[in-house]
Structure 1
Amino acid sequence: MTASITLVLFDMEGVLSHYDRAARVIHLAAVSGQPPETVRHAIWGSGLEARADAGLISDDEYLRALGDLLGCRINREDWLAARHASITPNEEVIALAARVAERHSIAVLTNNCCLVTDHIGYLNPPVAQLFGPHVYASASFGAAKPAPQAYLGCLEQLGRGAAETLFIDDTDANVAGAINAGLQGYKFVSGDALSEELERRRLM
């Protein structure tokens, strides 16, 4: 028998917000004077972003390494401005989360470094307003989704059990990782489909 859900844990980018990587790249290309392909490689192709998301390097180490790859200094303001340009809140899904919050606990687990969660009020104001302090970066737990440690570290922080948590993400691997860690999982495909799923589970 499936356990009753007491916590709904949301991914952010791709679920609670739309993520425009190209906008982020364009901003950093302008700052660094490097072509977009160089910026893309520095962030994703080099493995730097993955190391930061997993908490293997500190935020300051991450910014220094990114600057080294781009041949210039990347300060926090530049980085945050680029990330801000890449995020558009998904108001439809945020409204669904608000309805869930009327009767159940909600939180966010995002594959990101702590720069994102430390500055969530600037980067994604509607998410910051709704979720308050319960927006967690994978880097805080020393692993990125779909590693079990990411989910279980977050749940330990929240004082919640895995079986009573529904995790919502837009990628198959991250949903599978949650299920493997003992959570219940749902793959996000659209606001309408999520609304039906939440209604079916009587979560709103």
Structure 2
Amino acid sequence: MTIGVVLFDMEGVLSHYDRAARAARLAELTGTTPEAVREAIWDSGLEARADAGELAPDVYLRALGELLGCAMDRDIWLAARQASITPNDAAIALAARAAQRCRIAVLTNNSRLVTDHLDLLNPPVARLFGERVHASASFGAVKPAARAYLGCIEQLGATPPQTLFIDDSETNVQGAREAGLHACCFVDVETLERDLRRFGVLDD
């Protein structure tokens, strides 16, 4: 079946993600330490719950502030999150080329805080993909759960055999395949270009 949609992961594919930079910036803004930030966001499981849609954005922010012992608002959180993201211009350019042949979209393991503020956090991705950037939280599951992929595909009006998924995590790639999608693991832009050509979604 012809590929009608290429579904990209964001961080690790369309952008580089620096967790240490995020922790350092949030520690600076809240007067805590990077270690305290890591424990509050990741070790506690708080971020994973938000990414899975278990916590609404404001509930997540309030809980994070309580764990860090400080007031937490969107501006502070977004400033730290912005510090973690560097767009991968070469990968974005390939996605733009693929868009000439098929539809493109993003499925990212994140809460709606990221997708709702993508114009600030990742302007090149926001400009290219527009409203077709979907957070896992919207589907009540994170990759590699089948529910994440299938919920996103349903919203796009596509089917798994029509969809090619690109992710830098082999676990997420395997999850997509088990859900019936075609999938490739992102290694670098050269490999991505070859894979997109192989599936017929790049013009020569």
In the TM superposition, 1:30-179 aligns within 5 A as: 30-179=28-177
Contact 2:3–2:200 (CA under 8 A) maintained in structure 1: no
Counterparts of 1:193 and 1:6, CA distance in 2: 20
Q: Please, what is the CA RMSD of the aligned residues? A: 0.7
Counterparts of 1:5 and 1:12, CA distance in 2: 20
TM-score (norm 1): 0.97
Letter in 1 for 2:197: E
Q: What is the DSSP-based 3-state SS (H/G/I as helix, E as strand, rest coil) of the residue aligned with 1:74?
A: coil
Are 1:190 and 2:185 counterparts? Answer: no
Letter in 2 for 1:28: L
In the TM superposition, 1:7-18 aligns within 5 A as: 7-18=5-16
Aligned to 1:6: 4
Letter in 1 for 2:153: L
Letter in 2 for 1:17: S
Letter in 2 for 1:164: Q
Letter in 1 for 2:145: A
1:73-112 CA deviation, whole Å, 9 max, x = no partner?
Answer: 1100000111111100000000000000011000000000
Counterparts of 1:116 and 1:87, CA distance in 2: 11
Counterparts of 2:18 and 2:171, CA distance in 1: 20
- Choose from 12, 22, 25 the match for 2:23: 25
Q: CA deviation at 1:31?
A: 1.8
Unaligned runs of 5+ in 1: none
Aligned to 2:198: 200
Letter in 2 for 1:75: D
1:116-174 CA deviation, whole Å, 9 max, x = no partner?
Answer: 00011110000011001100000001111111111111011111001110000000111
Counterparts of 1:37 and 1:71, CA distance in 2: 14
The count of corresponding residues between Structure 1 and Structure 2 is 202
TM-score (norm 2): 0.97
Letter in 1 for 2:135: A
Unaligned runs of 5+ in 2: none
Q: What is the DSSP-based 3-state SS (H/G/I as helix, E as strand, rest coil) of the residue aligned with 1:163?
A: helix
Contact 2:140–2:148 (CA under 8 A) maintained in structure 1: yes
